[in-house]
Structure 1
Amino acid sequence: MADDEIWDVTDVQGTPTGTLHRRGDGPVPDGSFHIVASVCVVASTGRVLVSRRAEGKDYPLAWEFPAGSALRGESSRRGAIRELDEEVGISVLPDDLVLVGRVIEERALFDLWTVHVDGEPAVVVDPEEVREAEWVDLDEVHRRRQAGVFASPWNARFAQLWASLERAVRAES
């Protein structure tokens, strides 16, 4: 539950400062950050998993890759794995994640990871987090991005990471 989420406050390099922040208590202090991690799951078919945010969340019904804030004591990698499992029921190993890149946002360090999986694993969504999820090709992600149906923070993220994401997705598909 969001009220129970405690984050490590970090510096711009992602190093914890020793300060903690509770989600819902407003933004982290100026010049500080918290880590947000996302995973683009790449199926052996070449398609990727996108999820649509639940109605009760910020950016309701917008599309994204499964994502969320790393909790106190969690690395970006561990946070990404936990969020993927919680939101869409897909479990992966830490060493299977490959970092696409980091975007420095106003109060967050956003890390995008990829993970390649066999087939297109069945998805079990957490209805509090995700309305639906589906496997699509990267061209469809680009179409949805252009149509403005991804959550708005993804605009800047894609602007910085799209070329690297394309390379990472096509690397093993």
Structure 2
Amino acid sequence: MGGMFRRGDAGWPGGAFHLVVTVCVYRADGTVLLTQRAPTKEFAFGWEFPGGSAFAGETGPAAACRELLEETNVTVDPEALRRVGRFTEETALVDLFVVQEPSGSAVRADPAEVMDWRWVSLSEVAALRQSGVMAEPWGPRLDALWPAAMASILAADGLRRRTSR
């Protein structure tokens, strides 16, 4: 469509979508980074993968890198991102990317966006989904996208061997 709309503005045209990007950062030990939304954010205190909306003219990978940097201070190369799937919501196209944690990176959460963060196992992600502590939009997103994300992470060079021992 090519139009520009601000979040929350009235008059969102039917059939229009905005791009939402999320990044599942994984470590060689098979853990993934989850962040907890700040109390001032919508879906406060819910856990999720870092992400947000793309800006006008921004590619999905560029938006994913920007959001990851803003929320966690982790810098990744857009070329390193692997898109594992897209989930369609009422007005959003949600792309989930996976990327291995760059060596030497250190998570530093932006308190305006992120209240807490932690590295969790792949099985813990599913358990958190079942327990209801993931941010509200993440239930259906995980149902649709998590199997492909897990497969991509486990297929990473040598990861399956290291996590299965």
TM-score, reference length from structure 1: 0.86
Match of 1:99 among 40, 59, 83: 83
- The answer to whether structure 1 residue 24 and structure 2 residue 19 are counterparts is no
Alpha-carbon deviation of 1:109?
0.2
Give the structure with the higher percent strand.
Answer: 1
Count of residue correspondences: 157
Q: Quick one: higher RCO (CA 8 Å, sep 6+), 1 or 2?
A: 2
- The answer to whether structure 1 residue 147 and structure 2 residue 131 are counterparts is yes
Partners of 2:36 and 2:12 in 1: how far apart? 26
Alpha-carbon deviation of 1:24?
2.9
Paired residue secondary structure (1:22): coil
Paired residue secondary structure (2:3): strand
Match of 2:27 among 43, 51, 58: 43
- Structure 2 equivalent of residue 5 of structure 1: none
Q: Return the letter of the residue paired with 2:115.
A: R
- The answer to whether structure 1 residue 132 and structure 2 residue 86 are counterparts is no
Q: Return the letter of the residue paired with 2:39.
A: E
- Structure 2 equivalent of residue 69 of structure 1: 53
Paired residue secondary structure (2:5): strand
Structure 2 portions without partners, runs of 5+ = 160-165
Contact 2:76 2:102 in 1 (8 A): no
Partners of 1:41 and 1:51 in 2: how far apart? 11
Structure 1 portions without partners, runs of 5+ = 1-16
- The answer to whether structure 1 residue 111 and structure 2 residue 110 are counterparts is no
Would the alpha carbon gap of residues 79 and 38 (structure 1) be closer, same or farther in structure 2, given more than 3 Å must change? Answer: same
